[in-house]
Structure 1
């Protein structure tokens, strides 16, 4: 229990570092945020991808593969893994509801540059409120964008397109845990 609490505290500190708007957690307190995979395909794909490189060196069957065969099997493993990830995301987010919410605060921030980065990356954090089944919720939805933004103006333009002038936007909400939300559209790359 102590390890789990420390891991969760570390997750929260890292997630909130450098942000004025603090993340509103959707996971149980004192438990690390870990999504358990329900689909073995990503794991199988990675095992195939890594395993093919060890096949020739450590094979008990003394069957050697050509370079083309190794590449074909490795790429197949990656394809299986990617399809598994997409399928897992659809499984995880099936049954989520798309609702109207009001954005009451927003923050745009530049991420720290890593050594070797040429351009800056920008992100956003929102606080939204909505009502579901007669109960009010205040959330910090996860961004749905896969790519980061290269300027503050790009983030502002994106948010202005997705949040109307009255502050209303669309959220995808997990009805089993309404604090778990995604801004604008479902994520598909989990």
Structure 2
């Protein structure tokens, strides 16, 4: 388990490095948007390339930060239901969800996106909009993003197994805090009434 946990730490380090840096692209996208709007208002001219650059930047942030979001345990949950479950149950749901849903989904998208990107790259595909950009840089972000997400899914599986087996402490702040149901159950065990 020690080698797997070391692999998980390595994946986490790469994910965190990329996630922290790619977040700055939001600022770049905002600046591009502001410049584009200013030029459009001041000189009554614009370019589809500026608009496409904005969605390239936003898409890159979304795709490359998905793994970082998963690593930080910030993905969407149904808290109402999750908070009614014990920590052990939540750990098992996370583990099985990563194995049976996230891994196949990320793997399938990665598998399908590689030839999609290669075809675009080799053909020199460009946007259908007048003055549009080359498309392969946006398409390679899908490949890279789902590759990172797949690697991070493996890291999360390793960590969750480590937590379940007691090899490591809970890596997420708040994930191990007892939900209201656990607190109520412990009160009943002591003979207290709510």
Same fold, TM-score > 0.5, yes or no: no
Q: Which has the higher helix share?
A: 2
Q: Which is greater in Rg?
A: 2
TM-score, normalised with respect to structure 1 = 0.30
Higher relative contact order (CA 8 A, sep 6+): 2
TM-score, normalised with respect to structure 2 = 0.30
